[in-house]
Chain A
Amino acid sequence: MMDKRITLVELAEFLRQRSHISEEDSVKFVNTFVEVLEQNLLKDNMVKIKGLGTFKLMNVDGRESVDVNTGKRILIGAHAKVTFTPEAVLRDAVNKPFADFSTVTLNEETPEQIMEAEDIEETETVEDVETTVNNETEVTVEPQEEIVPETAPEIAIPDAVVTPEEVTIPAKPAKKCWWIFACVACFIIGFVFADIARFDACRQLKNIVTSWKVDKSEKVNVINEVVEVFDTTLVVADTVTVAPVDSSAFFPQVEDGEYLIVGVQAKEKMRIGKNLTKFSRQYFDSKDFVKYIIVMNHIENPDLIPLNAEILIPKLELKNK
């Protein structure tokens, strides 16, 4: 905020008008004022002026930093700097336009609490799905006319799992659960296909699909079997994610960076008051690692990240080790 620049000459002019002294004297006074201020600041390391504030010389310790362009560590030497703390009178006078505002306590839940609540909900829904599916077995045992389209189950394996929407299950909420369930299962099946060692799981699934096709009235069993497969594949998925990944080939890389992205060390959620620079400082002690976070998360515009977006913090390793 800067409307106009006032110089020492103008200050002297104001003083002349105010105090009825000669122009020469006022200029001399103002210049001496600044001179004394500067000399004594250097001599005593501190000058306090009533009505203005305190000037201090502060020593800053040397620290290590990272060159933004090269990514190399550089040393910033110890040095002194001038600080100014305005007196309360001046501070309040300057802040007059905003003086009516005061700090307000927000009543929202803290993000931690919200996240905890989400976790609990998630685990609960998983249990719900299982129980509802089990209940379903009892209900559908009774003969009931089912509107199953003849063309419903496709032959391709993944599609067959994706299309359960076309299979009508009597209770509607259960259908919804089943749909979510199918999505999760489908995702995990992706893992299974990637893993050749788990080929038998695929075969099991294939059997299920064929049996489904042969006898539609045995759908109940199919559901149960799918649940079983889901349970086993869930274990597979767990082991896959837990296993340490050695190669950096799986991750996007910063081309001219000094470090390689070799894994994920943490997950963060984008919240109000957080930004990539803060994450970079938190995990790498420097803001210059932002570029790795940006590349890791394929962020197109680092200034515009949706709230609650999940940010992966990369694990880095120095190149040419």
Chain B
Amino acid sequence: MNNKEFITELSSRLGLTAKTCQVLVNGVLADISKQLEAGNAITMGTFGTFDVKKKQERVIQNPVNGQRMLVPPKLVVNFKASTTLKDRVQKGGNK
């Protein structure tokens, strides 16, 4: 499902126009982004949790030419599915 389909379904459920819906979605996403930038975690009900993790710097080695490189530390967004979602995935989503 792509973004357009997502907006369409959301708007039909709420009885809003696709345009308003997109504006509201953008608002929610902007807030999510802002919170994550501040280092906060976001719990989305029974769906799962977004949080920010720090990846430590590390040395990697190119297996082809043996060159060693230092990868800098990073902050990455991490999503953890809730246990209820995991269960539902096992029952419904698995093929």
Interface residues of A (CB under 8 A from B): 1-8, 11, 14-15, 18-19, 21, 28-34, 36-38, 40-53, 55, 57, 59, 79-84, 86, 90-91, 93-98, 101-106, 108, 110, 112-113, 272-273
Contact = CB atoms under 8 A, between A and B. Distances in A.
Contacts, number: 193
22 contacts: A1-B39, A1-B53, A2-B41, A4-B38, A5-B41, A7-B42, A15-B27, A18-B27, A19-B23, A34-B46, A38-B46, A40-B6, A40-B9, A41-B93, A42-B92, A49-B29, A82-B48, A94-B36, A94-B37, A103-B69, A106-B68, A108-B68
Nearest to B70: A104
Interface size range of chain B in the complex: 35 or more
A105 B67 contact: yes
Interface in B19-53: 23-33, 35-48, 50-53
B47 to A, nearest CB: 5
A contact face: mostly helix, strand, loop, or mixed: mixed
A310 B26 CA distance: 56
Interface of B: 1-3, 5-6, 9-10, 13-14, 23-33, 35-48, 50-54, 58-61, 66-79, 81, 85-86, 88-90, 92-95
A282 B74 CA distance: 27
Nearest to B79: A84
B90 A52 contact: no
